[in-house]
């Protein structure tokens, strides 16, 4: 089993997404996203190589979360680091795939 941790960048991305949902949707959508993220963390912990590598950075993997968001992560030393939580409605150039 791998440990899942979130980078500061990914936590910032997630907070921005949750703020957007809070301002434009109901708690139902926020709860659904949080539940799905927890499921994805468990899935990754058990199956760290389940997602495909992205072509731009060969060591980064992408996992879609509820079609509107993608989780980008690295695998190293029995640890998964989420480097970005990205809204799929944005242009790909806005992704920040840094591990810090």
Is there a contact between 74 and 80 (Cβ–Cβ < 8 Å)? Answer: yes
Phi first, then psi, for residue 12 (nearest 5°) are -65, -45
Q: What pTM value is reported for the model? A: 0.85
Distance CA 45, CA 80 (A): 8
Domains of the chain: 3-88 (3.30.2310.20)
- Mean pLDDT of the region 64-93: 86
Confidence of residue 90 (pLDDT cuts 50, 70, 90): low
């Amino acid at each position: 089993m791998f440990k899942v941790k979130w980078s500061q960048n990914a936590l910032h991305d997630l907070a921005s997404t949750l703020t957007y949902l809070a301002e434009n949707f109901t708690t139902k959508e926020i709860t659904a996203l949080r539940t799905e993220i927890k499921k994805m963390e468990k899935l990754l912990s058990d199956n760290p190589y389940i997602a495909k590598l992205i072509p731009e950075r060969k060591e980064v993997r992408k996992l879609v979360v509820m079609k509107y968001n993608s989780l980008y992560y690295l695998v190293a030393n029995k640890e998964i680091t989420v480097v970005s939580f990205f809204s799929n409605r944005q242009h790909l150039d806005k992704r920040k795939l840094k591990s810090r």
